[in-house]
Amino acid sequence: MTTAVIIDDVTDAREILKSDLQDVAPDIEIIGEADSVVSGTKLLNQHQPDIVFLDIEMPDGDGFDLLDLVKNRSFKTIFTTASDAHALKAFKFSAIDYLLKPIDPKELAKSVQKARGTQDDPQSMKVLHENISRSIGTMERMVLNTQDKLHIVRLTDIVRCESDVNYTHIYLNTGERVLVTKTLKEYDDLLSEHGFIRAHQSHLVNSNYIKEFVKSDGGHLNLTTGGYVPVSTRRKAHVMQALEQLR
């Protein structure tokens, strides 16, 4: 039996979530509910659930205040949020699970499945907190979730990203290569506002590592770290415009 706690200041939200859980994961036992940081902290210091469904914004603080006050965090946190696009990007940068209100039962089922048998990673939670507190263009770190570990890297250390079907190779300035189970499009969506340029269907490049744009021989970008990245014909104008904006 998997146990869970729901912490949300909106009564209707808690009731809907309980109803949805009964439909998609009937083996989950709800062992407590709370509607604030204070009551939620008290509840979690008394009980040790497997999963905590946690709202971010509450009248007496936020979910991070609550987590800081909990003595023993041996549970998995699934945030439930009606937050803006910036907050949602912060979740994606941090590889922390979240459910966007109104909650889709299918997404709820996926989150529960991922949460079973795991615990929160403190470093990923720290990255989430710092990225939510920053403005959208100033996120500094992200979590790369691979099959065997979590890599926390600075955006400035990422040289380029290369597509490998449904995976992406992340090349760092240390020479390390990390294979991540996300598509290049997902990283393009996340990093395009942070100086990364989509030069090719299979390549996303950090503009800080571009040495020069060679227009001949089909077009390619020479990198300061060595090597080059091809520029596709249909993206040449986009690449040139992006580089002009950096001048």
CA nearest neighbour of 88 among 37, 123, 139, 24: 139
What is 2-133's CATH number? 3.40.50.2300
Q: Give the three-class secondary structure for 89.
A: helix
Structure tokens at 153: 């890297």
Distance CA 76, CA 51 (A): 5
Q: Would 2-133 and 141-246 be classified into the same CATH topology?
A: no
Residue ranges per domain, the chain? 2-133, 141-246
The answer to whether residues 126 and 158 touch, using CB atoms and an 8 Å cutoff, is no
CA nearest neighbour of 201 among 171, 229, 180: 229
What is 141-246's CATH number? 2.40.50.1020
The answer to whether residues 217 and 175 touch, using CB atoms and an 8 Å cutoff, is no
Residues β-bridged to residue 177 = 171
Residues β-bridged to residue 168 = 163, 180
Per-residue pLDDT of the chain (247 residues; tens, 9 = 90+): 899 999 999 999 999 999 999 999 999 999 999 999 999 999 999 998 999 999 988 999 989 999 999 988 889 999 998 877 778 888 999 989 999 999 999 999 999 998 987 888 989 999 999 988 876 567 899 999 888 889 999 999 999 999 999 999 999 999 999 999 999 999 999 999 899 999 999 999 999 999 999 988 789 999 999 999 999 999 999 999 999 887 7
Distance CA 142, CA 186 (A): 13
